[in-house]
């Protein structure tokens, strides 16, 4: 599906499960995040993630879910639909699915990905869903963190320049 209209790659939970769930063909790679301000660290992580399989599904925190993360009252900066379209526009991404929960655990359980990818700023045991994926014979991969790129740091720098 890579290369299609970005809007068409933003799928409902039912659509993503139907298309990429356990009856799929090929290897499914899964990652998740807020992607509030898309930056080179995100792009690199998603590009690296795609190398580990045939399909890359990105679970994107909804606006409600971002607020559950405790990132502050002013986050997200970019509305969920806009963030979803930006992430889905990347060639490496096959589908984006919004989730409202604090974590994507239930979506991981429903999809049963073969590979779960997070940035190197995570520790293996802190990756939500690692037990589910490994129990099914899958693996967890931490891609190297690109220093100097963090949405929180970018927001802090922007605010300090405006003051």
Question: For 12-52, what is each residue's pLDDT tens digit?
Answer: 999 999 999 989 999 999 999 999 888 888 899 999 999 99
Residue of 98, 42, 96, 94 whose CA lies nearest to 66? 98
Task: Decide if pLDDT at 61 tops 90.
Answer: yes
Radius of gyration, alpha carbons of the chain:
15
58-70 mean pLDDT: 91
What is d(CA 101, CA 123) in angstroms, rounded to the nearest whole number? Answer: 21
Domain spans of the chain?
6-157
Sign of the four-CA dihedral 92, 137, 19, 129: negative
**70 φ/ψ angles, rounded to the nearest 5 degrees:** 75, 30
CATH class of 6-157: alpha beta
């Amino acid at each position: 599906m890579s290369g299609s209209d970005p809007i068409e790659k933003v799928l409902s939970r039912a659509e993503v499960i139907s298309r990429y769930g356990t009856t799929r063909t090929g290897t499914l790679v899964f990652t998740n995040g807020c992607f509030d301000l898309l930056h080179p660290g995100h792009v690199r992580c998603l590009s690296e993630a795609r190398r580990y399989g045939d399909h890359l599904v990105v679970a994107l925190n909804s606006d409600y879910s971002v607020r559950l993360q405790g990132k502050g009252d002013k986050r997200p900066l970019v509305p969920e639909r806009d963030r979803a379209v930006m992430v889905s526009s990347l060639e490496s991404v096959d589908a984006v699915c919004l989730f409202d929960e604090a974590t994507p655990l239930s979506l991981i359980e429903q999809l049963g990905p073969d590979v779960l990818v997070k940035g190197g700023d995570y520790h293996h045991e802190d990756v939500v869903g690692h037990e589910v994926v490994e129990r099914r014979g899958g693996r967890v991969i931490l891609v190297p963190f690109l220093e100097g790129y963090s949405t929180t740091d970018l927001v802090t720098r922007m605010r300090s320049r405006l003051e």
